[in-house]
Structure 1
Amino acid sequence: MPVALLLAVTPVMALADSGVDVSNWQGCVNTSRAENAKNAGASFAFVKVTEGVGYTDKSADCSMAGFANAGIRRGVYHFARPNLGNTPEAEADWFISQTKGYVNQGVIPVLDWEPGGKWNTQTWWAKRWLDRVQAAWGVKPLIYMSASVVQSGDWTEVAQADYGLWVAGYPRGYAGDRLRDPGNVPYSVSPWKFAAAWQYSSSGNVAGVGQAVDVNWFYGDAVTWAKYAGQADTKPVTPPTVAPSEPKPSTPTGDTDSIARAVIRGEYGNMPQRKQLLGSRFDEVQARVDQLLASNGSGSSTSSGSTSVTVRAGDTMSAIAARTGLYPLSAWSVPSGNINRIWPGQTVTYRGAAPSVTTSTPSGHVVRAGESLWSIYGTGWQAAAARNGISYPYLIYPGQVLR
């Protein structure tokens, strides 16, 4: 029986628990740290293992061992980079080669889908990655994406193929949070009937892991997890006789200007969840949001040695840096604390030194979206990488000028 059909009752059951997802940002979560996390309420952990083709997270195996020793259930995820010109088969094969030791170990494979821009809608790429990993693992992976990305493309084939959804959305914004029961997902997840898990904040304080951690709620228990991980020797989950009604998000209180600024910071997500969360106050708040964004002109302002930019649809921090000429990326401050996670309407701020003004035309190749060193230079890509000071994993960004 397909996993999604088998577990269709899970979201309305009183069977759910808390967990985290980690990467090299948290370093190695060794046994001692993992035990502290377990004592704080973590029952599972998703660990980043790979990205693109050729990159493996140096902390992955250490964290996987730490969580296993602490008795915490585990998943492993791959950060997709179709924007680098990689095929889904190449990235799937890289993930498979780095995770084959976790097959048949009760571990759930996951595709982390947040490539940005036009790539968010390339559902065919994700489907081919999922199919290839499923064939190798014998387990259907989950796919992770934000609630807004769920609505940006046609995910029907992925949902109908029984690949479960791990959705991200932060109705409380980026204020401090913790491991807790966040209730039902307040966003539409169609064409999926339900979400397997919800990342409800990226600002969780979890003992043993950190103070700005992605915190999650899994709609199931250890038996449910085992079924997602392809473990057949578990007893079936018994559905409840009565399903509780889904809680409705309350309309926010407070002055319009403060709520509008919270919307711009990303605390109410994107449409349609923003309209749902604002309720009867949507029209008045959105009108104020439009006024504030319009007063920002081109979307950027400068004061006290810093530059603030309003994120546009399809933006990445690399694109914003290229548009403004403000580097390095590490000098940018974003609401989430992670420059790979920004949303339209947010304000991001550059706190480095302003670049010198020049009217000269850039000399060299200006990188376009979707290009890679190989697509630009062919067999001479390694020489180009050395010439431009680009080291492993050889990432380039739209707007970057290569010599």
Structure 2
Amino acid sequence: MNHNKGNPIAKLTAACCATIMLATPAIATADSGVDVSNWQGCVNTSRAQSAKAAGTSFAFVKVTEGAGYTDKSADCSMTGFANAGIRRGVYHFARPDLGNSPEKEADWFISQTKGYVNQGVIPVLDWEPGGKWNTQTWWAKRWLDRVASAWGVKPMIYMSASVVQSGDWRAVASADYGLWVAGYPRGYTGDRLRNPGNVPYNVSPWSFAAAWQYSSSGNVAGVGQAVDVNWFYGDAVTWAKYAGQADTKPVTPPTVTPSEPKPSTPTGDTDTLARAVIRGEYGNMPQRKTLLGSRFDEVQARVNQLLASSGSTSSGSSGSTSVTVRAGDTMSAIAQRTGLYPVTAWSVPSGNINRIYPGQTVTYRGASKTTTSTTRRHTVRAGETLGTIAAANGVSVSQIRGYRSGNPNLIYVGETLYW
């Protein structure tokens, strides 16, 4: 996500003027949706209607970050989605790494979103601070509690599948804060709005995920060509329950059958397929076995050979680099710490870069790290994109490294980029 300063969110009167789908909930025919920020600009009514026609049933909109930033496109997009009859959520990007208390950031979010209380809108905490902060679940719990008290609604919490496993989230899960999990079994290849089936990751201590962001590379009419696409496990009535418009708690979602047939047995040489598995493009078991079909045994055998060849040393004669995973690590954090990109060039024991555990050895198999003696660095400022940074410094976007998401469309204020 990119971050620009903007005007505060409009108050309750503006929100009430919009036509809101949840005013008379109806069973949804599909539960695909998007999440957007100022990177997509204002998704006005016309754009939102195109997104609706393409299958968008809900949208999460970034509103705030830290303790003083409001997304300049948020109010406009919220109005556009409401006018198109698309269910809505609002999210806050947590910045504990800036030294802010959870109460201070919660109060800022509350001040900017109070016009959406009791409007069928779900509040969300976007939890991806990186590094050691991923494990600071107490911070997230206090933010959630503060917002729940003010809104009268239990917020959801968004995080990657690897972060779910990196900390003790039992207090958050037991307090009934729903989980919106992110994980990309197909990597960063192009995707679309679709039914992805059941979440292929371990989300314990939650018994299930309320929503799954299955790709950050979706092509959605009216929104864009590199959009976060999501599946919500429920319908409009379920959404209303999460948004506090029903007395009963959200029900456990049923098992979901994907709406599209599984891909046929892949073609290509064994080595290429094995490296795609290591990058996480074929997910975890049993999904991987299904996707590889009759070629599973040969490809998995090559995967095992490639992983075994990494050894346990810091660097090998082939130029590979191995790192022992620490508590709270994500592959994005390890890539940022070592300066070795892209994230997809790392191999991990599970075969999925979103699923690593402390004590495991992960190995980088891409090009060697740029030497610090010739490296130029830049700290991301509010409103910048990789494109504007590249243009200002006379380099191409492909030369820039250091963004912890591994996705060139997703950079954060304060992170250091280099080339």
Q: 1:113 to 1:286 in 2, by over 3 A?
A: farther
Contact 1:322 1:398 in 2 (8 A): no
State the TM-score, normalizing by the size of structure 2. 0.66
Aligned to 1:225: 239
- Structure 1 stretch 13-22 or stretch 308-317: which is displaced more? 308-317
CA distance in 2, matches of 1:35, 1:245: 27
CA distance in 2, matches of 1:106, 1:32: 22
CA distance in 2, matches of 1:346, 1:212: 28
Matched position secondary structure for 2:168: coil
Residue-by-residue CA offset, 1:267-302 (whole Å, 9 max, x unaligned): 246xxxx34443475862542442575699749999
CA distance in 2, matches of 1:309, 1:211: 34
Contact 2:36 2:62 in 1 (8 A): yes
Q: 1:323 to 1:182 in 2, by over 3 A?
A: closer
Contact 1:172 1:201 in 2 (8 A): yes
Deviation at residue 121 of structure 1 after TM alignment: 2.0
Q: 1:294 to 1:221 in 2, by over 3 A?
A: same
Contact 2:278 2:303 in 1 (8 A): no
Equivalences for 1:30-69 in 2 at 5 Å? 30-69=44-83
Aligned to 2:10: none
Contact 2:274 2:300 in 1 (8 A): no
CA distance in 1, matches of 2:309, 2:74: 43
Matched, 1:91 2:105: yes
Q: 1:355 to 1:97 in 2, by over 3 A?
A: same
Equivalences for 1:171-190 in 2 at 5 Å? 171-190=185-204
Contact 2:314 2:322 in 1 (8 A): no
Q: 1:355 to 1:182 in 2, by over 3 A?
A: same
Q: 1:298 to 1:266 in 2, by over 3 A?
A: farther
CA distance in 1, matches of 2:363, 2:73: 31
Aligned to 1:278: 288
Q: 1:34 to 1:276 in 2, by over 3 A?
A: same
Aligned to 2:137: 123
Matched, 1:287 2:304: yes
Matched position secondary structure for 1:178: coil
CA distance in 2, matches of 1:350, 1:396: 26
Matched AA of 2:38: N
CA distance in 1, matches of 2:334, 2:97: 13
Residue-by-residue CA offset, 1:178-210 (whole Å, 9 max, x unaligned): 111112222222222221111111111100001
Equivalences for 1:4-403 in 2 at 5 Å? 17-232=31-246, 255-268=269-282, 274-279=284-289, 281=297, 284-290=301-307, 298=315, 313=325, 314=329, 320=335, 323-324=338-339, 356-357=373-374, 396-397=414-415
Contact 1:205 1:211 in 2 (8 A): yes
CA distance in 2, matches of 1:310, 1:16: 43
- Structure 1 stretch 292-301 or stretch 21-30: which is displaced more? 292-301
Q: 1:198 to 1:92 in 2, by over 3 A?
A: same
Deviation at residue 136 of structure 1 after TM alignment: 0.6
Contact 1:319 1:399 in 2 (8 A): no
Contact 2:160 2:181 in 1 (8 A): yes
Deviation at residue 233 of structure 1 after TM alignment: 8.2
- Structure 1 stretch 289-298 or stretch 347-356: which is displaced more? 347-356
Unaligned runs of 5+ in 2: 1-26, 290-295, 346-352, 357-361, 380-411
CA distance in 2, matches of 1:145, 1:62: 26
Q: How many residues align?
A: 331
Matched position secondary structure for 2:180: strand
Deviation at residue 311 of structure 1 after TM alignment: 9.0
Matched position secondary structure for 2:301: helix
State the TM-score, normalizing by the size of structure 1. 0.68
Contact 1:203 1:214 in 2 (8 A): yes
Matched AA of 1:169: G
Deviation at residue 155 of structure 1 after TM alignment: 1.7
Contact 1:264 1:347 in 2 (8 A): no
Q: 1:322 to 1:238 in 2, by over 3 A?
A: closer
Unaligned runs of 5+ in 1: 1-12, 303-307, 327-331, 337-341, 359-366, 368-393
Matched position secondary structure for 2:62: strand
Percent of aligned pairs with the same amino acid: 69
Contact 2:335 2:342 in 1 (8 A): no
CA distance in 2, matches of 1:146, 1:263: 19
Contact 2:130 2:333 in 1 (8 A): no
Q: 1:122 to 1:66 in 2, by over 3 A?
A: same
Q: 1:73 to 1:63 in 2, by over 3 A?
A: same
Matched position secondary structure for 1:182: coil
Aligned to 2:389: none
Matched AA of 1:67: F
Matched position secondary structure for 1:151: helix
CA RMSD after TM alignment = 4.4
Deviation at residue 154 of structure 1 after TM alignment: 2.1
